[in-house]
A and B are shown apart, each in its own frame.
Chain A
Amino acid sequence: MAKTARVTNIVIAGLGGQGVLKASDITADAAFRTGLDVKKSEIHGMSQRGGSVTSDIRFGECVLSPMVPAGAADYLVVVSPDEVENNRGRLRPGGVLIAPGLIDESKLASKRSLNVALLGVLSTYLDIPESEWLAALRSNLPEHLVEANLKAFAAGRLTRSL
């Protein structure tokens, strides 16, 4: 895979308990598996109690700060509809918003896998082979959740090929 000199900036946002941190772990791991430099950053702690949570992922040849600068996100993935407006300003002009409305939740085996379904959408924009995404999903989820999440991921990927 051709390595890009520039850094790709992703912000994942939602509420505590929605799997924002899990989604960012998976994304960072998928990028890591391609051999690129990766940094991922978020705030734990109080955010666990149902409050707003965001996580930043950056990857490229060389990543310095672990935090996506203001208005520099190439992709903004939002798991909770309420958090879209809060975070829209983090996108760069022309950046891509991946909002929960893109996924038909009624078609997901579990609403808990919305985070991973949105990663399926995100994956279609990124130069990371699908095999690395699948490996990252398997290694970051407990075994009994893998199957449902692989389906959710595939459903997310499908939204863009339709």
Chain B
Amino acid sequence: MDPSNRLLLSGNEAVALAATQGSVALGTGYPGTPSTEILERFAALGGRAQWAPNEKVALEVGIGAAFGNARALVTMKHVGLNVAADPLFTAAYTGVQGALVIVSADDPGMSSSQNEQDNRRYAVAAGVPMLEPSDSQEAYEFTLLGIEISERWRIPVLLRMTTRVCHSKTVVRAPSSAPPPAPVPGYERDIPGRVMIPAYARPAHRRLREKLAQIAVWNEASGPNRRVEGSSGLGIITSGISYMHAREAAPEAAILKLGMTYPAPVETARAFASGVARCQVVEEGDPYLAETLLAAGVRVCGKPEMFRFGELNVDRVARLLAGDIAPEPAPRPGKPPQLCPGCPHRSVFQALRDLGCIVAGDIGCYTLGVLPPFEALDTCVCMGASIGVGLGLRHVLPPEQARRVVSVIGDSTFIHSGITGLVEMIYNPPPGGHLVLILDNGTTAMTGMQEHPGTGRTLDHHKTGKVVIEELARSLGIRRVHVMDPTLDPRAFARLAGECLDSGEPAVIVARRNCLLAAGRIKQYEKCDGEDG
């Protein structure tokens, strides 16, 4: 082993390295913790990476690239796959020509998310094979394996990671030998394979199930699953980061560690379970493996319900194995995050608080407006929901309450899925009008200052086409569209917001002021743009 191939990488960095070595022609996605660094690193390594407006578009672009016989990588956080679910389910039918690897970075414990959904369910629901790495070495290997499986069976592959795998740094030994050369992009017509009208989709569904059956056979015989020998008293079936916790919590146990969890290697599990007195499934999140194996008649024990919630760790796995369901110690109270001192969102939330608004909020730094001292956020559901939820409230509340409702959404979130909300506001305007406040701080701040179509710069900060939010709003027919820096004269800003709330018309205020943390960088990029142009 060449020691120079020994690296200390996060799981995200390892995926990017594998994508580079695996000749991925295009990486696309939408920023979201804990997935964001994959594409940033892929770009830094020389890969072609771009941010899409949202995950649905990213996946569609990835499908197109794979239809064109290229290798594509599409990255997102778990809730992003909800947005991309529509293309996912049908791409499973069409399959791909090149390779399509979709990274779903789940967030058990919700370190930075609005829910802790378990996206292993998506692999089952859509019918796409799923790989679950447990450290950076496997993140590297499984990305390459995902490309291989995708090309061999012409099917999209889900690489399901979790926060601890994405963000932990562990040692990677990357082989110096190059993987097989990439296919040459080119279009091969296949109308019944790619045009999913019912007549073509019916056989496509059958083809998908045949592929999955073949992959299941392959997974049993030579899938990325391994056994750690141990006592015949306790056997553990596990996957992902839970494998690491389980080995440490029960060093004496025999372990079956699954790398491909859909289609699950049920017979491998059955043989393993029959060789131990007690076979416990250790998994984070939903009891997906336990349910799958129990349904197939494999003699395993699932976990107590309390371990569905939050992340696992060595201590929790030890308790799980001991059947200890006593209430767990509360996590230590740390200092909560807050809007930065000098953050331009602060003057906005001060104004909304003073105006007594009912605030339909959204996803981003400004969600922190819910915490003291502002406590000026009333709802937060998903990306873009502020506008629809605000309109729904306006439609049904008595007039004196309805006129206090405002939707608050950030610039990147607005581009992601707020535009259709504005269309709704024009198409089905509430009788008392509505106000949408777009907090434009010139960056995707929460995830670490990523570009988006509204900044007019690409993922690697070069000048490109720019969506101008106020022009977009005006083009939809909204007559009251204002642009104001909320920090220059906070009282004037509050006055304007008050007027719009009472106007009885659909209104948009773009509150524009660069994020304090990004302002220096943005100046630098703009300077470079000037020199380029």
Contacts and interface: CB of A to CB of B under 8 A. Distances in A.
Interface stretch (A48-56, A93-101, A105-113, A152-160): A48-56
Interface string B250-262: 0000000000000
Contacts of A69: 248, 313-315
- Chain A interface main SS type: mixed
Nearest to B112: A45
B33 A40 contact: no
B168 A47 contact: no
A89 interface: yes
Nearest to A66: B168
Contacts of A65: 241, 244-245, 248, 313-314
B337 A51 contact: yes
Given A32-B8, A49-B368, A86-B334, A66 B170 contact: yes
Contacts, number: 103
- Chain B interface main SS type: loop
Contacts of A38: 8, 169-171
Interface in A43-100: 43-52, 63-67, 69-70, 82-83, 86-87, 89
Interface in B308-356: 313-315, 329, 332-340
A43 B170 contact: no
Interface residues of B, number: 36
A94 B163 CA distance: 31
Contacts of B167: 41-44
Contacts of B338: 49-51
Interface in B111-131: 111-112
B163 A43 contact: yes
A23 to B, nearest CB: 13
B34 A51 contact: no
Given A39-B168, A65-B245, A16 B8 contact: no
Interface string A9-31: 00000011000000001001100
A37 interface: yes
B138 to A, nearest CB: 13
Nearest to A64: B248
A39 B163 CA distance: 14
A14 to B, nearest CB: 10
Interface in B35-89: none
Given A38-B170, A49-B340, A64 B247 contact: yes
Interface in B430-473: 446-448
Contacts of B333: 86
B365 interface: yes
B164 interface: yes
B334 A50 contact: no
A51 B336 contact: yes
A67 B164 contact: yes
B111 A45 contact: yes
Nearest to B165: A66
A69 B170 CA distance: 17
A48 B515 CA distance: 14
B168 A89 contact: no
Interface of A: 15-16, 25, 28-29, 32, 37-52, 63-67, 69-70, 82-83, 86-87, 89
Given A40-B168, A52-B334, 19 more contacts: A15-B335, A16-B337, A40-B170, A43-B112, A44-B112, A44-B167, A45-B33, A45-B447, A46-B112, A46-B337, A47-B111, A48-B448, A50-B338, A50-B340, A66-B170, A70-B329, A86-B333, A86-B334, A87-B332
Please provide the 10 A-B residue pairs with the shortest distance between their CB atoms, ordered closest to farther: A45-B112, A52-B334, A49-B337, A51-B337, A66-B168, A45-B33, A41-B168, A64-B248, A43-B111, A40-B169
